Homo-oligomer: A and B are copies of this chain.
Amino acid sequence: MNKKKIINDPVYGFVSIPSDLVFDLIQHRYFQRLRYIKQVSLTHLVYPGALHTRFQHALGAMHLMGLALETLKGKDIDISPEEEEAATIAILLHDIGHGPFSHSLEHTLVQGVSHEHISSLIMNELNQMFEGKLTMAIEIFKDKYPKHFLHQLVASQLDTDRMDYLNRDSFFTGVSEGVISFDRIIKMLNVANNGLVVEQKGIYSVEKFLIARRLMYWQVYLHKTVLSAEQMLIKILQRAKELTDKGIDVFSTSSLRHFIKNRLTKDDFISDKNHLQHFIMLDDTDVLATVKMGVLSEDKVLAKLCDRFMNRRLYHVELSNNIPSAEKIEQLRVAAMKLFNVSEEEVHYFVFTQLVENSAYDLGEGNINILMKDGTIQDITTASDLSNLEVLAKKVQKFMIAYPKEIH
Instruction: Determine the chain B residues whose CB is within 8 A of the CB of A35 once the complex forms.
Output: 44-45, 48, 312
Residues of A212-228 contacting chain B, CB below 8 A: 212, 214-215, 218-219
From the candidates B174, B204, B207, B292, name the one contacting A13 in the complex (CB within 8 A). B174
> Closest CB of chain B to A146's CB: distance in Å?
28
Q: Provided the pairs A10-B172, A48-B53, A285-B285 are in contact, do residues A204 and B179 lie with their beta carbons within 8 angstroms?
A: no
- Contact, CB under 8 Å: B48 / A254: no
- Contact, CB under 8 Å: B52 / A56: no
A49 CB-CB contact with B under 8 Å: yes
A8 CB-CB contact with B under 8 Å: yes
Instruction: Determine the chain B residues whose CB is within 8 A of the CB of A219 once the complex forms.
Output: 204
Residues of A326-353 contacting chain B, CB below 8 A: none
In the complex this chain forms, how many copies of it are found? Answer: 4
Across the interface, name the chain B residue whose C-beta is closest to A75. Answer: B4
> Closest CB of chain B to A342's CB: distance in Å?
23
> Closest CB of chain B to A205's CB: distance in Å?
6
Known: A48-B56, A177-B208. 4 other contacts (CB 8 A): A6-B187, A177-B180, A207-B215, A253-B293
Residues of A194-236 contacting chain B, CB below 8 A: 204-205, 207-208, 211-212, 214-215, 218-219
Seen from chain A, the residues whose Cβ lies within 8 Å of a Cβ on chain B are 4, 6-11, 13-14, 27, 29, 32, 35-36, 44-45, 47-49, 51-53, 55-56, 59, 74, 171-177, 179-181, 183-184, 187, 204-205, 207-208, 211-212, 214-215, 218-219, 251, 253-254, 281, 283, 285-286, 288-289, 292-293, 296, 310-312, 385-388, 391-392, 394, 396
A sample of 22 inter-chain contacts (CB < 8 A) reads A8-B48, A10-B49, A10-B171, A10-B173, A10-B174, A13-B174, A13-B183, A14-B174, A35-B45, A48-B56, A49-B52, A49-B56, A51-B53, A176-B179, A176-B181, A208-B215, A211-B211, A214-B386, A253-B292, A254-B296, A285-B285, A388-B391
Across the interface, name the chain B residue whose C-beta is closest to A283. Answer: B292
> Closest CB of chain B to A199's CB: distance in Å?
12
- Contact, CB under 8 Å: A51 / B52: yes
